[in-house]
């Protein structure tokens, strides 16, 4: 017993010693933390210079919490500061990173035109490399980037786009049938249905069908859908790469989102002389024309590379297109005179009773419907900002140099409301042959970017929106469930109507087409 008491006494002395050490170190730890915080604040102010922005920032996190809780308000405040200062720029701090928001169209063009190793690096997302990996198309520079875009170009020829249009329409039609059935079954059609997630599912199937065609099994598509959902949630989460976190789940999901098998299968089929039926077929057909037969290892590496770029296309097409489809429905409902003109134009060139998809020639003749699509994209550009990182200090203006490592956010949304007459008005006629505002104010129409990294698939994206508008308006009657704030902007991470676009649907045509 005495031995045990002695042991406890000894332990007590050691515990007391530890407490004294901790108590003695406490002031030094507090001082160290204070110095780190002070250094962070001083660094922020040195980088900010004359730019408007918060005077004090939360240590490490900065404005990350308000940005995630209410991104619409956060980015609107950045734009307000940039405009009110008259400088076209504002500054803030996000998770240890200094950021510069760019409202000025001309300064945005300066960023887009200077994507190179010693200037700006396109990153797509503030923490994109952790999610996308280092070999994404958007991270390429100079000749390697030019060579890849040259290889991609044959995927978007008129012949290829016509092939895709037939595939797109079949998927759209199948989903419109599902939406109509869902709306009819929704509490006996007395409850609206929300289109955002339905559009997203439709776009994911469209992208998989157009880009990878017959080379994805049903099981592979289901796995891809689950992983893509995890990836999308991670885009909006705090970038803490910890076990169980949404960001970690997203990063692991991306590692599984490979389409290398589809590329390899397509290459074998194209080598056998088959006709292209999807995007990867056109890519592989052109690749086989240019390159002599490669060794097995080289072919496997090529399949991995192409598979990775197919995922880039899927990511680029998915949520951006969902955003545009939702806004198209919302804006057509709010402007019945525009909807009537669209329906008349489509009816003059195609009938649901024909039993055939809209021909490529008829699609090209739907000039007003395309103007509607372009005005939707102008008024509500899906990706409102295009993040870049400064690889080196860059003199953005005569009086301000972007510091190395800063993330800059050129706002294509803000540019859409500059230059154009009455820019807040939904007016498809601004894209008519008579007014040609798309040419006069071309520098302000930045929804597809500018410079060397301008979206290579923009013609495909516009075609998809035109086809959706034509089929949706012709086959369905729809009515928006309008509530207070339903048209407010929500970030998911692209922008969508706050209510997820709730509508009532009913069949408009006498008989649904069956192509």
Q: Which residue has the higher pLDDT, 36 or 322?
A: 322
pLDDT at 173 over 80: yes
- Kindly tell me the burial class for residue 9, based on how many C-beta atoms sit within 10 Å of its own C-beta (0-12, 13-18, 19 or more): exposed
Phi, psi dihedral angles at 402 (to 5 degrees): -70, 125
* Residue-level pLDDT at 297: 44
Mean pLDDT of the chain: 87
Residue where the block lists tokens 């598509």? 221
DSSP, res 157:
S
Contacts of residue 46, defined as CB under 8 A and 6 or more positions apart, other chains included, come to none
Cis status of the peptide bond prior to 493, with omega within 30 of 0: yes
Q: What is the pLDDT of residues 340-374, one digit of tens each?
A: 999 999 999 999 988 899 999 999 999 999 999 99
Q: What is the Cα Rg of the chain in Å?
A: 27
Q: What is the pLDDT of residues 388-415, one digit of tens each?
A: 999 999 999 999 999 999 999 999 999 9
Highest mean pLDDT among 36-45, 87-96, 184-193, 246-255: 87-96
All structural domains of the chain: 104-507 (1.10.630.10)
* Residue-level pLDDT at 468: 98
* Residue-level pLDDT at 222: 82
Determine contact, residues 234/253, Cβ cutoff 8 Å. Answer: yes
pLDDT at 47 over 80: yes
* Residue-level pLDDT at 296: 45
Q: How confident is the model at residue 76 (pLDDT cuts 50, 70, 90)?
A: very high
Q: What is the pLDDT of residues 85-98, one digit of tens each?
A: 888 999 999 988 99
Cα(114)–Cα(304) distance, integer angstroms: 29
In 3-state terms, what secondary structure has residue 244?
coil
Six-digit token string for 14: 């050691």
* Residue-level pLDDT at 219: 82
pLDDT at 4 over 50: no
Q: Which residue has the higher pLDDT, 140 or 402?
A: 402
Q: How confident is the model at residue 3 (pLDDT cuts 50, 70, 90)?
A: very low
Determine contact, residues 396/87, Cβ cutoff 8 Å. Answer: no
Average pLDDT over residues 273-287: 92
* Residue-level pLDDT at 492: 85
In 3-state terms, what secondary structure has residue 315?
helix
* Residue-level pLDDT at 231: 74
Give the rounded percent of residues in the chain with a pLDDT score beyond 70: 85
Contacts of residue 347, defined as CB under 8 A and 6 or more positions apart, other chains included, come to 474
pLDDT at 7 over 90: no
* Residue-level pLDDT at 292: 54
Average pLDDT over residues 300-317: 65
pLDDT at 109 over 80: yes
* Residue-level pLDDT at 9: 46
Q: Is position 455 annotated in a ligand binding site? A: yes
Contacts of residue 109, defined as CB under 8 A and 6 or more positions apart, other chains included, come to 443, 450, 451
Average pLDDT over residues 160-177: 96
* Residue-level pLDDT at 126: 65
pLDDT at 453 over 70: yes
Average pLDDT over residues 310-330: 83
Find, among 395, 386, 390, 457, the residue nearest to 415 by Cα.
386
- Kindly tell me the burial class for residue 53, based on how many C-beta atoms sit within 10 Å of its own C-beta (0-12, 13-18, 19 or more): buried
Average pLDDT over residues 372-389: 95
* Residue-level pLDDT at 324: 96
Highest mean pLDDT among 151-160, 210-219, 258-267, 467-476: 467-476
Give the rounded percent of residues in the chain with a pLDDT score beyond 90: 61
Six-digit token string for 466: 């035109």
* Residue-level pLDDT at 53: 96
* Helices 458-475 and 367-379, axial angle in degrees (round to 10): 110
Give, rounded to a whole angstrom, the gap between the first and last alpha carbons of the chain. Answer: 91
Determine contact, residues 253/230, Cβ cutoff 8 Å. Answer: yes
Q: What is the pLDDT of residues 111-134, one digit of tens each?
A: 999 999 999 998 876 666 666 665
Q: How confident is the model at residue 298 (pLDDT cuts 50, 70, 90)?
A: very low
pLDDT at 498 over 50: yes
* Residue-level pLDDT at 127: 65
Contacts of residue 208, defined as CB under 8 A and 6 or more positions apart, other chains included, come to 216, 221, 224, 314
Residue where the block lists tokens 């406490």? 26
Cα(202)–Cα(413) distance, integer angstroms: 25
DSSP, res 62:
B
Q: Which helix (H) or strand (E) holds 173?
A: helix 158-185
Six-digit token string for 188: 């006996």
Find, among 172, 81, 114, the residue nearest to 476 by Cα.
172
Q: What is the pLDDT of residues 227-255, one digit of tens each?
A: 777 777 776 676 777 787 877 787 776 66
């Amino acid at each position: 017993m005495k031995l045990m008491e002695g042991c406890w006494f000894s332990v007590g002395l050691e515990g007391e010693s530890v407490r004294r050490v901790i108590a003695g170190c406490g002031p030094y730890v507090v001082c160290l933390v204070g110095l780190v915080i002070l250094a962070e604040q001083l660094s922020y102010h040195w980088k900010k210079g004359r730019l408007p922005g918060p005077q004090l920032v939360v240590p490490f996190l900065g404005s990350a919490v308000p940005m995630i809780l209410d991104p619409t308000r956060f980015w609107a405040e950045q734009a307000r500061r940039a405009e009110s200062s008259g400088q076209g720029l504002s500054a803030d701090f996000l998770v240890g990173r200094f950021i510069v928001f760019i409202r000025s169209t001309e300064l945005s063009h300066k960023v887009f035109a200077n994507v190179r190793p010693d200037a700006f690096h396109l990153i797509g997302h503030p923490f994109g490399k952790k999610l996308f990996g280092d070999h994404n198309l958007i991270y390429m520079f100079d000749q390697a980037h030019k060579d890849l875009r040259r290889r991609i170009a044959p995927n978007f020829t008129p012949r290829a786009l016509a092939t895709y249009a037939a595939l797109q329409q079949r998927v759209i039609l199948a989903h419109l049938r599902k939406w109509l059935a869902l709306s009819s079954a929704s509490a006996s059609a007395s409850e609206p249905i929300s289109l955002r997630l339905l559009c997203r599912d439709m776009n994911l199937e469209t992208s998989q069908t157009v880009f990878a065609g017959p080379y994805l099994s049903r099981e592979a598509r289901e796995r891809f859908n689950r992983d893509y959902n995890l990836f999308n949630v991670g885009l909006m989460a705090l970038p803490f790469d910890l076990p169980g976190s949404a960001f970690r789940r997203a990063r692991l999901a991306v590692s599984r989102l490979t389409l290398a098998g589809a590329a390899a299968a397509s290459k074998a089929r194209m080598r056998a002389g088959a006709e292209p039926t999807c995007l990867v077929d056109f890519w592989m057909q052109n690749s086989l024309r240019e390159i002599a037969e490669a060794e097995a290892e080289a072919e496997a590496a090529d399949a991995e590379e192409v598979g990775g770029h197919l995922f880039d296309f899927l990511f680029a097409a998915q949520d951006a297109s969902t955003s545009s489809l939702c806004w198209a429905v919302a804006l057509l409902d709010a402007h019945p005179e525009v909807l009537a003109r669209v329906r008349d134009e489509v009816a003059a060139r195609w009938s649901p009773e024909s039993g055939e998809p809209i021909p490529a020639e008829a699609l090209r003749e739907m000039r007003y419907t395309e103007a509607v699509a372009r005005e939707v994209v102008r008024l509500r550009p899906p990706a409102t900002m295009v993040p870049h990182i400064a690889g080196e200090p860059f003199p953005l203006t005569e009086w301000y140099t972007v510091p190395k490592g800063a993330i800059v956010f050129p706002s294509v949304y803000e540019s859409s409301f500059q230059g154009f007459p009455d820019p807040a008005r939904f007016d498809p006629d601004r894209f008519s042959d008579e007014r040609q505002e798309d040419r006069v104010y071309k520098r302000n129409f930045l929804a597809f970017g500018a410079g060397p990294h301008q979206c290579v698939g923009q013609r495909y994206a516009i075609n998809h929106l035109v086809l959706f508008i034509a089929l949706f308006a012709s086959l369905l009657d729809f009515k928006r469930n309008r509530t207070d704030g339903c048209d407010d902007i929500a970030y998911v991470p692209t922008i969508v109507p706050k209510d997820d676009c709730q509508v009532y649907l009913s069949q408009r045509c006498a008989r649904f087409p069956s192509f």
